[in-house]
Structure 1
Amino acid sequence: MRFAFYGRVSTEDQQDPRASKAWQLSRARSLIEPAGGEIVAEFFDIGLSRSLPWKRRPEALRLLDTVKSPGRDFDAVVIGEPQRAFYGSQFGMTFPVFVHYGVGLWVPEVGGAIDPGSDAHDLVMALYGGMSKGERNRIKIRVRSAMKAQTELEGRYLGGRPPYGYRLADAGPHPNPGKAADGKRLHRLEPDPVTEPVVKRIFAEYVAGRGMTSIARGLTQDGIACPSAYDRARNPHRRTEVWETTAVRAILQNPRYTGRQVWNRARTDEVLIDVDDVALGHENRHRWNDPSQWVWSRTESHTPLISTDLYERAQQTIKARGTHSESGRAPRHTGRPYLFRGLITCGVCQRRMVGNPNHGRLYYRCTASRDYVRQHQISHPPALYLREGAITGPVDEFLRTELTGRPLAENIRRVADAQYRAALAAYDTTEIDDLRQTIAEADTKISRYRATLDAGGDPALVAGWISETSAIKKAAQARLGLTEAPPQRMTAEQIDAIADAFNDLFGLLRDADPGDKAELYSRLGLRLTYQPGPETVIAEVVTPATGRVFDWCPRGDLNPHDPHRCAPEVRMHDSMPFRSNTYEGPALCAVTQQ
């Protein structure tokens, strides 16, 4: 029997990838070799957290794609340790795919193949998934507790780039004997004689009443290098040569200039990528913590650049200047949702335009300071405005024309025909015969095993044989039920029904609630780019791979009469732009789809 091996090692495990793969492979081979198994393919993820679902691990995803392929060269998958492969409920979301395609899954803790119909096997795998999740949580708790104690009690520098105004100095050997033997040492912060006066100047000028933008402009005019320009070795990805307001704000809000070590200013939250599709897993979001959650060292751990009183005065000034929240940011006020929030990009600087009410009307604004224009060498006015009411009608007309009626029906029909031809070409009756033969052989084996049991064979041994053969039979039966039915072509009625549904949807667009309308624009993948020179808005519909209607573009051409409507490179990409003519809109814009 031929097997594919899957394993994983991450930074959490603190193991050498080669050593980890070797012992996982050894454990997998010890399970399958007594049954005549042989590993013919290996899939091993390195440096990826176990919390990532299989579809977001490169090697696991490649394994899933191979499982779906009729030409795969293995019959089952074996793993060395379930805790490394499955986290939380991942087994329940992955194993049905194996069963669907008739591929077995062997796990050492089960003693062989997992039986899809066994509640005991499901319980065991769910238990190991929970253990994997619990182990990861315990590691996080231990690390965070240690970092809190080291900051509070020792004032230890915990890594990262030093704040502007400081540099790193040696603080002796590492207290962990193993790390000390590897040559690792502790570090501490000491004032940088070049940048220390700049930090003191920023705090003094801000408390004296000067604004952040004015301070940044003054530093640039005086020829003082900004943080990224001064420390180019740690900022090779940045080319900023002027001081930005955000850099001044970051310095003013950094409490470590008071001489005390501060930890837990920010946290990393794991949030669902899609609340409607939990199987996609989570993604990390970095967020600021409330100052009450910060952990301060009990004593000074390095030389202060400013006094605690000066730091507190600066924080009070930040809060007092036009803001009302503890974070120092002005609260948002809006009487109604902006229809195109986050969907409009400035064609000059490629930044997103933000909503801005003016004289009772809603606008989208893009501002650029003189320093920003000089740094990026662009021709950008101080402020650009685009009125929402001027583009709403043309955008609705654009969507109605391109995503409803005959153009939509023709596109759906061409893609459906292409998918049918591809499915028909892949339909192979040889696989049906092989599956039926597998089922017949399994029935023969089960009959022999039962005869052996009646003749006085070892019940435990025979039961294992029957369980393994039954799993192979069930997987083949499941695959056969899906393979026997030939692919079906989408009927004209089905295509018209889809097109009619879109017609009804856009028929309600004009009188829709603004909140519902904004959500519809976002879900459709609408993207707008404002070109202030010709006063034109370029619109496109970019449909993500997870929700797109057209999965394949036949020959890269949705309209053979117009070679510019669908470029060949669109095929199999994650987005599909639709092209159309230009609509002359009112006042500010003409809407063009691109």
Structure 2
Amino acid sequence: MSAVLPGPGGPGPASPWSAITRASLADRVPLAGLLRVSTEDLQNPRASVLRQVGNCTRALPAGWYIVGWFIDVESGRMELEERGGGTGHLGLDLPVERDGGLPDLLAEAKSPAARFAAVICENTERLARYTYFNTKVEYELAKHGIELFASDEPIDPDGKRAAKVLVRRIKQAVGEWTAINTFELAWDGLKTHTESGYNIGRAPYGYRSKTVQEGGKNKSVLIKDPKRGPVVTQMFRWRIEERLNYRQIASRLNEDLIRYPAPTPARKETALGEWTWAVVRNILKNPKYTGYMVWNRTTTRTGATVHRKRRHRNNRIDQWVWSPQPTHEPLVSLADYHTAAQISDEQRGHRADHEPNSHPDTIHTYALRGYVRHDCGHRMVGTTRADRTYYGCRGPKDGRGKPKLPDHPPSIYIREDILLPAVQAVIAERVFGPQRRTYLAAQHDNAPQQAAQAHTEAITATRAALDDITARQDSIATELEETPATDRAWRTKLRERFNALETQRIDTAAKLTQLHAAQPQHPTQDPALLDAMPHLDQHHLAGMPTELQRRLYDALNLTITVPNPGQAHITITLAAHSPNQAHALTTANREHPQTTTGATVRTTTDIAVAQKRKRLRTATNGRGPKLANCLSPRLSRRPRRGRR
């Protein structure tokens, strides 16, 4: 190209873009070819690359040539930072040599020694399925004077771009709409597939896949595996009746791998040949064992895009897709599945074994660890202050460490030296005592009235709490209106408090709706379970080793709820396994008695004080006799900090 001398005359530049593009007025323009194809699961990658190379080459003006090809073989919905790092191109017989992927192209474009002055693709909507990614690629290239051309658009580096950008954005919007619409149609298809009872993926342990024909296509349904199906049922039984944790269940299964064959993973070379706690957990959390077909329990998406490393995360339960009716033989009832799930929630973060903590700094074993919960639902944690043991709760916290419940007290404590004897007295009197049938009969007669009264009181208390939250929100709103706009710190604090109350208001309103919809129920009791329990007095119960006591509490399904520092609700539920376990534990205690000290006498005094102030409270459950007491002495004091 001949040199141009400065001076008047001449038409001047055709557009304001001529001075900022490397391809302007050049006789020979080197370009980079940018291609993207999906994986071979969705199309023929080699045929697509051949088509794109031909279209890009034919669209080049005279003197323009391609110096390198940057090819991605992956989804167009992937994040730009993750593009180009896959291995989909390795097994392909590409018609051109690959110089890298999209990140390599953008990296070379930043260099002054870049081999190309422009980039060409078949069409911009193929580069990525979302307009944001397309425009971002254009922007990153334009920062370095490199323009992006497409084979289906006019190529004029010196011309005006307004009309071209308008057409390009319309095409990109249509391409994005097509991608999203296809995704939604596929979602609807999978949802219908699930609701029709067809399985997606591998058959879970305990089932086999059976291929059926529908509309000329193969579908998969689940049928029970006669050898492995009973194993799943047994696992749920251990979980519900004996409240075993995942590791304990895996240990039992590994004791007899012939009777309980271990599952085989999809990649057989990774098989361990034994049960692990993670496999047990996945089975106990799988709702397909209820006979319903369920889909969308997990996802690898974090939004509209996809990622190369597909990390599965759990969806919320309300996002699961269930078939409206059972579609295959159940291995466990829906009620038992919910019971097992509830046990999982209760045991989360709780060490299930009953032996003392193996940590070298452990100086105390908490006899009621894991059994005591505050009314907010959180487990109360054991602590020792000034030679006294307490169980305390500070309330649930959000991700930033702030309280989720604004009305929750900063801390609530209850003393073990009063609570533990009271628990032992209730068990000795109402489970192992000679008058246990009398207590059960009285509880059974009063249960309907007490349940109705408790239900009414719960509705009244919840409605009052909702009114109180609304009144405080109104007060905050009034104060916010009167606060000057310049006082930003105080206004921000008021908004945060209002938002916290709004979260609490929504939860309380939902609870009130559930209370109105629910009706108090009084399931039938089974006195035979109570008759089958052994006889044991309070003295021997208090003298049992802590480990045996805790196993006994598990057999009795003991739960202790502390609504306030002055009350504790003690609930015992007998299940089918409870009598046998209780007999075994009491027999073990007689064979290995524990030598008691003067501390038992002091504890007995505390029991007597607590028993004078206790009153009967009824609670029922469908699994068997459920005994409850509400203790209302001063059961707690805030622990004073002192020397250990």
Q: TM-score range by the shorter chain?
A: 0.3 to 0.5
State which structure, 1 or 2, has the greater radius of gyration over its C-alpha atoms: 2
- Whichever structure has more helix as a proportion of its residues is 1
**What is the TM-score of this pair, normalised by structure 1?**
0.47
**What is the TM-score of this pair, normalised by structure 2?**
0.43
